[in-house]
Amino acid sequence: MLKVAIDTLGGDFGPKPIIEGVVRALKQKNFTPILVGDEAQIKALLSPENYASVKIVHCTDFIRMEDKASDALRHKESSIYKAVELVKDGQADAVVSAGHSGATMSLATLLIGRIKGISRPAIATFMPSIDHRKTLVLDVGANVDCNADHLFEFGVMGEVYTREHFQTNIKVGLLSNGEEEGKGNEIGKKAFEKLKALESFVGNIEASDLFKKDIDVVVCDGFTGNILLKSSEGAADSIVRMLKKHVMSSLTAKVGGLLMKKALKKLKKEIDYAEYGGAPLLGLKKCAIIAHGKSNTKAIKNAIFQSIEFGEMDISHKIEARLSNLQMTQT
Amino acid sequence: MLKVAIDTLGGDFGPKPIIEGVVRALKQKNFTPILVGDEAQIKALLSPENYASVKIVHCTDFIRMEDKASDALRHKESSIYKAVELVKDGQADAVVSAGHSGATMSLATLLIGRIKGISRPAIATFMPSIDHRKTLVLDVGANVDCNADHLFEFGVMGEVYTREHFQTNIKVGLLSNGEEEGKGNEIGKKAFEKLKALESFVGNIEASDLFKKDIDVVVCDGFTGNILLKSSEGAADSIVRMLKKHVMSSLTAKVGGLLMKKALKKLKKEIDYAEYGGAPLLGLKKCAIIAHGKSNTKAIKNAIFQSIEFGEMDISHKIEARLSNLQMTQT
């Protein structure tokens, strides 16, 4: 049975939604949770039955959001350090954390280690699409400065991950300021050449097409990925707020707004990050899932499911195999 | 009276909306339009009265969207070349074009020339904000690869332009992947240090805060600016489409949707680029306004108003003065 180490201390809302997420996940799937955190707190939040089906690694220290990621390595008593260490030592197969994402990232990279051929692990996240299945974007924040080789590796990792998910032909695109070949910044243009080695590569993709084109993977550096994610989030949020503002300004629209509530609720579900769970850090020898600091019960449950799926699909080995296969055809 | 050279041939919809935009602008403001394009076509679209109040520079050649910007300099017979040349020769004070934006940009830079102290002109565009007046973003496409000096210059130009617009204290932010100092990619971190020389500089700003924070200027390179603009556009468009999809799926929501139509119309007005006109190319000795290829009558009218305002505010000289002032305090 798959063993998942879960950091119960790092989230913005404390251990409650995390433990509740674990309990919900246990109802639906078979796995062994290893809860890292304050034993008394954890016990208080679990029924005796659930208490029997988890393992606990006691600790009370954790990395705060305002701490520097670079200090994480010295905090060997912190919950995220201990959780990642369990994976490193083979006592767990995966780690899920809603804590300091920078700390999780550097600890996972340093302790678990990279797949042979991957120089930079990347955070990959699914974004919703209207007419198409969701699109995986990577990197969305692990590496602010990237070279063409890094972007190429992101393309390979994204291809493998989505192929395992969708079990069909995959289309990989490179985020750019225009569709035509020749668009892009200096690094992007070099990455374009390298990505041609993938049959799945379909060329440049513009940010406006992300939500409508039948694209499965969008490759970008972590800085641009952050801008892409945050501006989409900001624009979507603003549209909904503007709509509400206009609705409140007229009575007929107010009535209309009430009637449309159901539609808005459906919409919210469609764009809710909690539906997606967390974001896997691709490129490591084992699985690390970075959950949102504001994760609720459902988001944690889904992040755990992602880690189980990751193990079942054997993602890390498949990335390694794909890379060595590509190297063979290139030499 | 201010003389504005207008390229009537480059737009996606031909000369009609452009000429109509000029006629509408003439009704509201005093200026002399110099229409560059096919004289017979232009004459057919103007009333005798309007025909008397414009000048025409006849030409039939123009740069097509699929042409390379780098070829524009050799197309001396093209409408955009002739329109920019009028400004260069002092026969016009400003140029407005809805044609090939890359061509407009390179021709304007080469023929009109840069302000002393500006190494790279930048395209600046206003984005809507909910709680605050609109925000100027630059660069949104002129320079895909920038160094820290370029970003600093963008900050100065944005500060001057918005200060003239809003006649109040201005806040300049640097687009980054986090608010804290120390966030950003390598070039961004260097630009942060340089931007400290502006009292108006308030530090890093995240893409998600763009639509809600009281920020007046957002500085970024042209690649990131494109991603920011296009992803906001794509997300906003998707939200509206998703809403429509959900509305169509239930009868009550459908009724609600009808009632909300008015609110949606107001919203559309708020985010419609036509309301903003075009985007000035800041950093040139004279004014060049880049209008959207799909500009309608209203967008052209507003782009012309922008060029008149640009002249009235004497933006180019004020940028030059601000730069030399900054250099004096630094040495």
Q: Are B286 and B307 in contact (CB under 8 A)?
A: no
Query: CA triplet A99, A136, A313: central angle to 5 degrees?
Result: 80
Helices B222-248 and B251-271: crossing angle in degrees, nearest 10, is: 150
Task: Compute the distance between CA of residue B140 and CA of residue B124 in angstroms, rounded to an integer.
Answer: 6
Least confident of B15-24, B28-37, B143-152, B244-253: B244-253
Would you state the structure tokens that stand for residue B70, as one six-digit string?
């780098």
**pLDDT at residue B115 above 70?**
yes
Query: Given CB atoms, is A325 within the 8 Å cutoff of chain B?
Result: no
Task: Compute the distance between CA of residue B50 and CA of residue B53 in angstroms, rounded to an integer.
Answer: 5
Round the average pLDDT of chain B to a whole number and report it. Answer: 90
Task: Compute the distance between CA of residue B102 and CA of residue B122 in angstroms, rounded to an integer.
Answer: 12
Q: How many CA atoms lie within 13 A of A71 on its CB side?
A: 11
| Average of per-residue pLDDT across B135-162 | 96
- B243 CA: distance to closest CA in chain A (Å): 7
Best CA proximity match to B245, nearest among A217, A276, A210, A129: A129
- Order the strands of the A172-176 sheet from edge to edge: A55-58, A32-37, A3-7, A94-97, A287-290, A279-282, A122-127, A135-138, A217-219, A172-176, A201-206
Task: Compute the distance between CA of residue A82 and CA of residue A74 in angstroms, rounded to an integer.
Answer: 12
**pLDDT at residue B79 above 90?**
yes
Q: Which of residues 256-295 of A touch B (CB under 8 A)?
A: 256-264, 266-267, 270-271
Q: Which of residues 174-233 of B touch A (CB under 8 A)?
A: 175, 177-178, 184-186, 188, 206-212, 220-224, 226-233
Alpha helices in chain A (DSSP H): 15-28, 39-45, 48-52, 79-88, 101-107, 148-166, 186-195, 222-248, 251-271, 297-313, 315-330
**Among B178, B229, B257, beta carbon nearest to A260:** B257
**pLDDT at residue B322 above 80?**
yes
Best CA proximity match to A234, nearest among B175, B161, B154: B175
Would you state the structure tokens that stand for residue B104, as one six-digit string?
């407009």
**pLDDT at residue B249 above 70?**
no
Task: Compute the distance between CA of residue B323 and CA of residue B314 in angstroms, rounded to an integer.
Answer: 15
Would you state the structure tokens that stand for residue A48, as one six-digit string?
């005796």
Would you state the structure tokens that stand for residue A95, as one six-digit string?
């780690």
- Order the strands of the B217-219 sheet from edge to edge: B55-58, B32-37, B3-7, B94-97, B287-290, B279-282, B122-127, B135-138, B217-219, B172-176, B201-206
Task: Compute the distance between CA of residue A92 and CA of residue B112 in angstroms, rounded to an integer.
Answer: 65
Q: How many beta-carbon pairs below 8 A join chains A and B?
A: 205
Residue segments in chain A with a per-residue pLDDT below the cut of 50: none
User: In terms of C-beta density within 10 A (0-12 exposed, 13-18 middle, 19 or more buried), how is residue A1 classed?
Assistant: exposed
Q: Which pLDDT band holds residue B270 (cuts at 50, 70, 90)? A: low
- A54 CA: distance to closest CA in chain B (Å): 36
Tell me what pLDDT residue A272 has. 63
Task: Compute the distance between CA of residue B232 and CA of residue B129 in angstroms, rounded to an integer.
Answer: 12
Best CA proximity match to A175, nearest among A160, A185, A163: A185
DSSP A69: G
Task: Compute the distance between CA of residue B237 and CA of residue A236 in angstroms, rounded to an integer.
Answer: 9
For the beta carbon of residue A331, count every other beta carbon within 10 angstroms: 5
Using left for φ > 0, alpha for ψ between -120 and 50, and beta otherwise, residue A281 falls in beta
- For A24-83, write each residue's pLDDT tens digit: 999 999 999 999 999 999 999 999 999 999 999 999 999 988 888 788 888 889 999 999
| Average of per-residue pLDDT across B246-255 | 64
Q: Which secondary-structure segment (H or E) carries B260?
A: helix B251-271
Query: Do the Cβ atoms of B267 and A223 come within 8 Å?
Result: no
Q: Are B5 and B95 in contact (CB under 8 A)?
A: yes
Query: Given CB atoms, is B252 within the 8 Å cutoff of chain A?
Result: yes
Q: Which of residues 117-146 of B touch A (CB under 8 A)?
A: 128, 130, 141, 144-145
Task: Compute the distance between CA of residue A180 and CA of residue A205 in angstroms, rounded to an integer.
Answer: 9
Query: DSSP states of A14-42 as a string?
Result: -HHHHHHHHHHHHHHS--EEEEEE-HHHH
Tell me what pLDDT residue A260 has. 63
User: In terms of C-beta density within 10 A (0-12 exposed, 13-18 middle, 19 or more buried), how is residue A49 classed?
Assistant: exposed
User: In terms of C-beta density within 10 A (0-12 exposed, 13-18 middle, 19 or more buried), how is residue B243 classed?
Assistant: buried
Tell me what pLDDT residue B219 has. 98
Q: Are B51 and B85 in contact (CB under 8 A)?
A: no
Q: Are A16 and A47 in contact (CB under 8 A)?
A: no
Q: Please list the residues that pair with A288 across neighbouring strands.
A: A95
- For B15-68, write each residue's pLDDT tens digit: 999 999 999 999 999 999 999 999 999 999 999 999 999 999 999 999 988 888
**Among A175, A186, A211, beta carbon nearest to B238:** A211
Helices A222-248 and A251-271: crossing angle in degrees, nearest 10, is: 160
Would you state the structure tokens that stand for residue B144, as one six-digit string?
């895909």
| Average of per-residue pLDDT across B123-147 | 88
**pLDDT at residue B203 above 70?**
yes
Torsion sign over Cα B226, B231, B237, B240: negative
User: In terms of C-beta density within 10 A (0-12 exposed, 13-18 middle, 19 or more buried), how is residue B131 classed?
Assistant: exposed
Q: What is the 3-state secondary structure (H, E, C) of A86-125?
A: HHHCCCCCEEEECCCHHHHHHHHHHHHCECCCCCCCEEEE
B266: nearest CA partner in chain A: A246
Helix (H, G, I), strand (E, B) or coil at A324: helix
Q: Which pLDDT band holds residue B274 (cuts at 50, 70, 90)? A: low
A207: nearest CA partner in chain B: B231
Complex ipTM: 0.89
Query: CA triplet A66, A72, A73: central angle to 5 degrees?
Result: 165
Tell me what pLDDT residue A264 has. 64
Task: Compute the distance between CA of residue A142 and CA of residue A122 in angstroms, rounded to an integer.
Answer: 6
Tell me what pLDDT residue B240 has. 75
Sequence-distant (6+) residues with CB within 8 A of A259 are B252, B253, B255, B256, B257, B259
Q: Which pLDDT band holds residue B258 (cuts at 50, 70, 90)? A: low
Question: How far from A62 is each of A6, A16, A67, A89, B125, CA to CA, in Å?
Answer: 13, 16, 10, 20, 44
